[in-house]
Chain A
Amino acid sequence: DAKTTQPNSMESNEEEPVHLPCNHSTISGTDYIHWYRQLPSQGPEYVIHGLTSNVNNRMASLAIAEDRKSSTLILHRATLRDAAVYYCILCNTGKLIFGQGTTLQVKP
């Protein structure tokens, strides 16, 4: 299974945009890029996914590099509630392989 690499932690100020990077240089042509996040004391929750084109939803935007070897999750205005561990996952079947993720701290 292809692996992803994310920074261990990032900090942001409240109401500022946050760009969470993910490298996946061994991605295959059929892998979808999924992002999940895990709020403290909760189960992971889906954020967004994409294949080649950039994607937007009510939670975030996903920017995918043209060669698909990296992607960036964009939170347009971070709130305190966005403090969580963010996982970038390559998905080719129903099985999600979680890495260590990026712990995002949001400062008021």
Chain B
Amino acid sequence: EAQVTQNPRYLITVTGKKLTVTCSQNMNHEYMSWYRQDPGLGLRQIYYSMNVEVTDKGDVPEGYKVSRKEKRNFPLILESPSPNQTSLYFCASSQTSGRTDTQYFGPGTRLTVL
């Protein structure tokens, strides 16, 4: 089954404790991205990757890092999480970054930073 998976689905952590949220897709997609969703602000793009070893900032990249060493994986790294990073995170992938490409979203990771 074609899908985007994220782990963990839920995470409660404390300020400053490094964490990684994994994202994996099995569709051989080139384009992957991370979004965060907050009440009243909607979904905003954090980082995206056009292909292996090619990443770039989205609209809200501060406090986040990403890497794309393999085509299927696109982890989101929070080196020193802060409470304002408490949010619902979604990973997405699509064949390319084209205007007609369908994006497939993961189930979401709900992160709470205390």
Majority-rule SS of A interface residues: loop
Of B99, B104, B107, B108, the contact of A93 (CB 8 Å cutoff): B99
Of chain A, the residue at the smallest CB distance from B108 is A43
Q: Is the CB of A94 within 8 A of B48?
A: yes
Distance of A30 Cα from B90 Cα, bound (Å): 27
Q: Is the CB of B100 within 8 A of A32?
A: yes
Q: Is the CB of B102 within 8 A of A46?
A: yes
Q: Is the CB of B100 within 8 A of A49?
A: yes
Q: How far is the CB of A39 from chain B (nearest CB, A)?
A: 11
Q: Is the CB of A94 within 8 A of B97?
A: yes
Which of B86-108 touch A at CB < 8 Å?
90, 92, 94, 96-108
Residue B112 at the chain A interface, CB threshold 8 Å: no
Q: Is the CB of A92 within 8 A of B99?
A: yes
Chain A positions 60 through 84: 1 when the CB is less than 8 Å from some CB of chain B, otherwise 0: 0000000000000000000000000
Q: How far is the CB of B47 from chain A (nearest CB, A)?
A: 11
Which of A78-108 touch B at CB < 8 Å?
91-101
Of B4, B58, B102, B108, the contact of A95 (CB 8 Å cutoff): B58
Q: How many A-B residue pairs have CB under 8 A?
A: 59
Q: Count how many chain A residues have C-beta atoms less than 8 Å from C-beta atoms of the other chain.
A: 22
Residue B33 at the chain A interface, CB threshold 8 Å: yes
Of A45, A94, A96, A100, the contact of B96 (CB 8 Å cutoff): A94
Tell me which of B43, B48, B94, B104 has the highest count of chain A C-beta atoms within 10 A of its own C-beta. B43
Q: Is the CB of A95 within 8 A of B105?
A: no
Which of B17-39 touch A at CB < 8 Å?
31, 33, 35
Tell me which of A41, A43, A44, A98 has the highest count of chain B C-beta atoms within 10 A of its own C-beta. A43
Q: Is the CB of B94 within 8 A of A94?
A: yes
Interchain residue pairs A-B with the least CB separation, the first 3: A94-B97, A43-B105, A98-B43
